[in-house]
Structure 1
Amino acid sequence: MTCKTPNTSELSLDTLDDPTPVTFDEVRDSSDKLVEENATTYDKTLTFIGTCGRNMLLNLRNDEKNFTDTTGDSSGDWVKEFTLSDFKRYTIDAIAEEPPQNGSKKKTFVLATETPIINLVTGKDGEIKDGDTYDGDSVDFIGNATPNVVVEAFNDETTTGKKALVDADGLFKLPLNELKTGQYRIKIKAPNNKESTVFMFTVAADMPLSLDDVLDDTGSSVDEGETTIQTTLTIKGKARKNGELTLLGGPAPATVTAKDSGDWEHTFRDLPVAHYSLTARTNYNPVETTAPRTFTVVQDVELSLDKVLESEEGPEVPEGETTYKDLLIIKGHGSPGKSIQLLNGDDPIEGATETTDPEDGTWTIALKVSEGEYRLRAKANYGEGAVTAPYTFKVESTIQPHSTRIYDSNGLIDDEGSTTQNYVFVRGVAAPSEAIKLKINGVVDEQEEYTNIKGDWVKLVSELIPGTKYVVSAVAQYGGNAESNTWTITVAPAMDSTVR
């Protein structure tokens, strides 16, 4: 039998090992910037570029583990855009899916974050979750940040003084130790002032006894010594983990047990109107008692605007009537110890706020007014902001005394002028049919002088003393007792008869 050597032209390329190499040439970020070998990028979306056989299927691997695939095009080029999820060091290569699985050289880079990220917090018993209560005194914060910088831990806005060096792969581990009892709000801050989100936890070991807050049923605090109309109050504090205590000073002693966190609370319902002084006392050793927390539960008082007075003693300005006063006394009631605001119509009057009496809820406001119509209302700066019905009245301006002048028999004497006569006539203008009194050198004359229907008045002043200066004005005996302008004259000294 004769064997025939096959013609090589009869063999297909598929029967031969594919000699086409696989290359991994570039890594570019989403801005088309080249990511150099062993460089750091802060862009998660990257494009990997290389060459291979035509239409070749490739696997992309990180540390020899497949994470995605791609296919070469008809020219033997391959491009793969991919969004990475983890901040770390990557060592990536491309390998043919089919034998002989030609592979590329590896490319290494670090994907990092400029803003610190807390990935894990651990304590003596393992992981601590955000919001957990922890009974140890040290924890470790593990996360990512910019490589080769020092990050620092802050509790709210205060530094803890604890720092850690971020390694070349962008990883850090920052220990916090010697933790004291209390709540912590930790954030990790980088030198670029970027900071992580806050991680909260509470250290509850050996929680000291405290009575921290008194809350009404709206969640608002009733401060020390304050009054409240609420009859449902929740008392909150801290004690030893699972420790039992007695709350004293309420309608009856109440036994309370602290939670695992050391927090405790007790709600009083239907509290009678009374003054309260609450204390918390431990039922375990050492026996401790908190300082008193005092408050008063008072009867609610309906908001009202009761009176508008011309003075503290009265008289009252009746509803819808007119007053000539420019200072009025406004009185009313509201919930004890709360703030009210006076309105004119719907507009708040600047400076016209007052806190009601903590016992009976009364309030008083001295209000300066000017000419015009008023619709006073009182608005509660508490609760749902109730407003009273309007109290209407009118303010009319009075005519103040003015144009005071002094005359002698020769006519008008100039202000700061002089006369040789020992009597003068003082004239002026004031409100029609009202009384004025003269004020001479600071002394108000007892005798009144009435104006005519036009408001004019005149008064004789006699027995003036030669060589004396007189400062004269008119004082109204109506309204607010306004005073006119002053007019000054001097009576000339008597002539010496021996002088020729």
Structure 2
Amino acid sequence: MPSHKRFRFPPLTEGNNPLTVLRPLLIPGMVEQVQVTDSRGPVAEDGKTRDEKVTVTGTATRGETVELFDGTTTSMGTALVGADSTWSREIGPLTEKSYRISAKALYGADPVSSEPRTFTVKFAQTPEILAVSDSRGDVAQGATTYDNSVLVAGSATPNLQIKLLENKQSLITLDVDDKGDWNHRINDLKVRSYSLTAEALYEIDPATSPPRDFVVAQAVTPTISRVNDLRGEVAANGTTYYRTVNLTGKASPNEKIILLNAGANVETVDVNGSGDWQHVFSSLNLTTYRLTARGDYGSNPESSPPRVFTVAAFVSPTITAVTDSVGTVGPNETTYETAVTVKGEATPREQIQLYDNGAPVGTPVSVNADKQWTTSVTGLAIRSHSLTAKAMYDAVPVESPARNFNVAAHIAPTLTSVHDGISEIGNGGQTKSATVTLRGSVTPNRQVQIYDNNSPRHTVTAVGSAWNTTLSVGLGGHSLRVKALSTGQDSNTRTFTVISPIPPLNFNTGSVTLSGRCYLIPNWAAYPNFGPGTYVQHTASGGVLPYRYTSSNNNVAAVDGSGLVTVRGNGLSTITVIDNASQSKSYNVHVTGVKFVWGLDGGSWNTIRDRAAARGKRLPSMGELRVIHNAWGGRWPMGDYWYWAADSAGGWPARYWLKNLVNGAEGHVQYYGSALGVCIDP
């Protein structure tokens, strides 16, 4: 009697009471979990097998029977369900075709049949490339690898051979194992596109697998190109005062980089198709960061050197200096100008607002990258001033300490004293002195310009508010005043007359031509004995001692304190004598006979000649060397040794004359001998 039905037995009694026994009805289990396995393992849904037999397994109600069908009508046999609710049956021999296997319960199950499992039997298989993998794993169809080696794996008909091709060119012939698997590692890949196919070396249609394409690319070493904060780029090893920066860089396109700080992971960032990456790095701490970007591809190349920057707290503003045209205006000091320059420090690339006595002055001032800021304050009123600099950013404290100073009115210039060394010269008075001393006052530490008969003379800087100077004055009337350079104000005028005795200055003013030959060494402190035609001396007399002699061109003629003029180069110079009463007279000197001598070091005659020619010069003749020796004698400064002359001494090999320019000795040697050399203008 079936155990899954419920029956009522004949009435049972317990005493006089009837006893009823109930047995639960068992519900038949449905057929499910159908699997297909061949000699290589499970056969995937819609998969393939090369075996002639496969095993079909599943679950159903234990102790019952299931029947297998291909399609809906072709029976493949029955299977008994075991005590563990599983059943199994081998079906075969199979033929090359598609199968649709289902298990049907031979009992009252609902549903009565399992879902069908489909697979295809194909004993000879077109080769397939199942996988291409590099050191990081699978390289998908059309994907990119940065390795120079990949492993290619595939399937084909067992125990036969396939040929692996790349761009239709044969790479290698491979054996297929008894499970239908083959693989091969391709090494020494180049940076380019690859297209692999597997071709059967047996009869099959089609004979060639679909292509498996991939690209080998050169891994780009990542870079960190820029670190930008709110105000612009943060230079390498620079400082930012913000807690967020924007990082940009380069890497291999469509890959990922790992951003690191001192080796610790910060974030993984995608690289776009152009090879650019960007990351907003926020919540920064007050510390130094050492960032690198490591490629999450290839051999994991990493940027170098690290991009280093420091995050610092905002700098509170300070005022470090207040200056006027004279110099620093110290705290609580006084300036006499209505404009000052104010300097200070604050957070780089931010702005501060300057205040005077609590009122804003001008527009906000930008701070340079070196923390320095500078601005001008103009239109200052004559009163006390208190400057502060207030940060236009989040700083604590937000405002600088006050810088206090006063603005006062300029002091008008005065000329209070004219003294000739003996006594004060009254206004409209007389003196016989050629020099007077002037005194007066002006705004502290400013300059005054001296005027004599409305002609500007020299300027004088006051020490405090007092100034003094001396002035040379000639015979005749003088009207003196001073002008304050800072304000243009004129002082009072003082007049006086200078009377004799100031004797006239006597001096020969006739022009002189110095044409004597003189050999000089350029830029050398030593000079030869100056012979005829190389010097002249005009001596002044009369006037007021002492005399001062000057040359208008010391590169042509030099003059000493006695009026002796010696040549220095060809050209024109004016020699002037000035006495202590400012009387002066002059004469012109024309110099035509100077030749400069340049040293050429040592070497053979040919070497020295060529060096001279390279300078556009020539070797001196023996006669010229004798003149040089006579002028310089033992004071010749270039060395006590032989010097080549241009003159040949005849003979073979060719001999040339030599002269010692210190001791005057003469001789000649072959051209290949060694001596010193000098050259002169052609």
Q: What range is the shorter-chain TM-score in?
A: 0.3 to 0.5
**What TM-score do you get using the length of structure 2 for normalisation?**
0.31
The answer to which structure, 1 or 2, has the higher relative contact order (CA under 8 A, 6+ apart) is: 1
Larger radius of gyration: 2
